[in-house]
């Protein structure tokens, strides 16, 4: 299970780089041509930034779990993965469609991130005992 988080994290990090490049080149060009709202480009970049940050978090969780397997780390890993899907995924959906209901779910992903990071902290603190 521990390598699963490293693999998922690495794949999501690679996807974040690709999406970041798309935003920096493709979407930026559309903004300059007036075909894409500038505010949505910022939203897209926020989704990419959080995806990358938490993809690295998944890799960290996988490495920690390899050293000291933990149910808490496993729960934190899956919670962080869900956070990426919900937070970044719904931001991407909002930017792609302009449908505001997608943005309503984004805070759930943010809460998942907080819970996941707290889970990592508790798991590591438990390792010190």
Residue 1's pLDDT is what? 60
pTM of this prediction?
0.93
> b/e for 55-66, b at 16 or more Cβ within 10 A?
bebbbbbbebbe
- Who wins on pLDDT, 27 or 77? 77
Confidence band of 54 (pLDDT split at 50, 70, 90): very high
Residue with tokens 């943005």: 103
C-alpha to C-alpha distance for 34 and 48, rounded to whole angstroms? 22
What is the chain's mean pLDDT, rounded? Answer: 95
Average pLDDT over residues 86-100: 96
Instruction: Read off the pLDDT of residues 6-20 as tens digits, 9 standing for 90 and up.
Output: 999 999 999 999 999
């Amino acid at each position: 299970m521990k390598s699963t988080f490293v693999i998922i994290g690495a794949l999501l990090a690679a996807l974040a780089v690709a999406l970041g490049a798309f935003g920096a080149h493709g979407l930026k060009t559309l903004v300059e041509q007036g075909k894409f709202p500038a505010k949505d480009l910022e939203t897209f970049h926020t989704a990419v930034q959080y995806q990358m940050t938490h993809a690295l978090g998944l890799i960290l969780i996988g490495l920690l779990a390899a050293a000291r397997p933990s149910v808490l780390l496993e729960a934190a890993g899956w919670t962080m993965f869900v956070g990426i899907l919900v937070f970044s995924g719904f931001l991407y959906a909002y930017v792609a469609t302009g449908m505001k209901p997608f943005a309503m779910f984004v805070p759930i992903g943010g809460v998942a991130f907080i819970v996941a990071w707290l889970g990592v902290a508790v798991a590591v603190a438990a390792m010190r005992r």
